[in-house]
Amino acid sequence: EKGGYASFMLKEIAEQPKAVADTLLGRIDAEGSLTLDEVRIPVSVLREATKVVIVACGTAFHAGLIAKYAIEHWTRIPCEVELASEFRYRDPILDQRTLVVAISQSGETMDTLMALRHAREQGARVLAICNTNGSTIPRESDAVLYTHAGPEVAVASTKAFLTQLVACYLVALYLGQVRGTKWGDEIRAVIRDLARIAEDVERVLETMEPVRELARSLAGHDTVLFLGRHVGHPVALEGALKLKELAYMHAEGFAAGELKHGPIALVEEGLPVVVVVPSPRGRSVLHGKIVSNIQEIRARGARTIVIAEEGDEAVVPYADHLIRVPVTPTLLQPLVSTVPLQVFACELATARGNEVDQPRNLAKSVTVE
Ligand code: F6R
């Protein structure tokens, strides 16, 4: 059933272009607008929502962190993202005009379920983003947008994460569409870009051999740091989580701007640091800042592993290893920049002799609080 792959994880990484395309299927009409009829929350409710609150755990939480950038940019609705396990214990402010989005691959994660029950008790509407038909989370939600990743067997989430991102973008763009924000043209352009993104994911997968080689060369290290800004920050967190759970290494993700407020003290000679670089187009200020961050850590001896867009020449002098990803709109970049980090963690774990499909101490679905 592994289809010739050494692990389910490798198979599921390879299935990502299809998973992404399947999750878009039937949701973009001939005119390039979104049709999310299955989201059975009246459009009037979506128009009047004053706040979006996303609850999720682990990798799904990272998808939520990325969704916040998209939702706030395209809809101007304030969006909070919270770890489901913390949510109900802090007496969150919720009412009928709050749209809660619960993201879960399995649909059975107890922390997420308890968070959504709490939200509904307070009168909020809950939209689930879920990969498992008929599971508990969608059954207890007001509406569900299914991701079509297909069954995910490996404990570490890969293809489900990419489809969670796609679903989050669809929700953000749909909210923008029904509320008619000033970003109408941009929304239409991004829908067109999204429709093509599976090919970009495929292209990334075709260029992963140097990443595997690099991962093997780092098997003897104890620590790897991950840096990013903007949507690259959650990508850095996800890269670190994958490495912890699979390679059992000390891995941490930071917002690159936070470096100087503490984490830079960790940098020493030879420390591998992965940096997720935003596009130099559009948000160029951000790009310049991260290039300085790369210079700062390199000056202190870090071995820099830079993930940057094709054609971004500014990073070249400071990258000990350069991983290229296709040119994509800034907000969509996580769909391509996460993939090398999955491959990196999988290969590094294998090089360290670990069983990637069944990491120690972990279960695929966490049905206890
Ligand atoms: C990490 C991983 C976990 C899950 C988390 C939520 O690779 O798989 O962090 O993302 O346990 O699970 P779901 O999405 O099933 O609610």
ipTM summary value: 0.97
- Say yes or no: CB of residue 132 within 6 Å of ligand 1: no
Starting from the edge strand earliest in sequence, which strands make up the sheet with 98-104, in order?
Answer: 79-83, 51-56, 98-104, 125-130, 143-146
pLDDT of residue 39: 83
Nearest CA to ligand 1 atom 5: 58
CB 227 within 8 A of CB 332: no
Q: Is the model's pLDDT at 88 over the cut of 80?
A: yes
d(C-alpha 83, C-alpha 185), whole Å: 33
Q: What is the mean pLDDT of the chain?
A: 95
Give the confidence band of 41 by pLDDT, cuts at 50, 70, 90.
Answer: confident
Give tens-digit pLDDT for 50-82.
Answer: 999 999 999 999 999 999 999 999 999 999 999
Q: Is 364 a catalytic residue?
A: yes
Nearest CA to ligand 1 atom 11: 58
Q: Do strands 303-309 and 272-276 pair parallel, antiparallel, or not at all (unpaired)?
A: parallel
Number of the ligand 1 atom closest to the C-alpha atom of 242:
7
Number of the ligand 1 atom closest to the C-alpha atom of 366:
11
- Say yes or no: CB of residue 157 within 6 Å of ligand 1: yes
Nearest CA to ligand 1 atom 16: 104
pLDDT of residue 37: 80
Of the two residues 180 and 348, the one the predictor is more confident about is 348
Q: Could you identify the residue written with the tokens 């402010």?
A: 93
How far is residue 23 CA from its own chain's centroid? 15
Is the whole model's pTM more than 0.90, yes or no?
Answer: yes
The proportion of the chain whose per-residue pLDDT surpasses 90, expressed as a percent, equals: 85
Q: Is the model's pLDDT at 133 over the cut of 80?
A: yes
Q: Is the model's pLDDT at 188 over the cut of 90?
A: no
pLDDT of residue 160: 98
- Say yes or no: CB of residue 109 within 6 Å of ligand 1: yes
pLDDT of residue 271: 98
d(C-alpha 335, C-alpha 338), whole Å: 6
Task: Report the b/e string of 111-142 with b at 16+ CB within 10 A.
Answer: bbbbbbebbbeeebbbbbbbbbeebbbbebbb
Give the confidence band of 284 by pLDDT, cuts at 50, 70, 90.
Answer: confident
Q: Is the model's pLDDT at 283 over the cut of 80?
A: no
pLDDT of residue 180: 84
pLDDT of residue 294: 97
366, 367, 368, 369, best to mutate for ligand 1 pocket (most atoms within 8 Å of CB): 366
- Say yes or no: CB of residue 64 within 6 Å of ligand 1: no
Measured between its terminal Cα atoms, the distance across the chain in Å is: 32
- Say yes or no: CB of residue 365 within 6 Å of ligand 1: yes
pLDDT of residue 172: 95
- Say yes or no: CB of residue 58 within 6 Å of ligand 1: yes
pLDDT of residue 305: 98
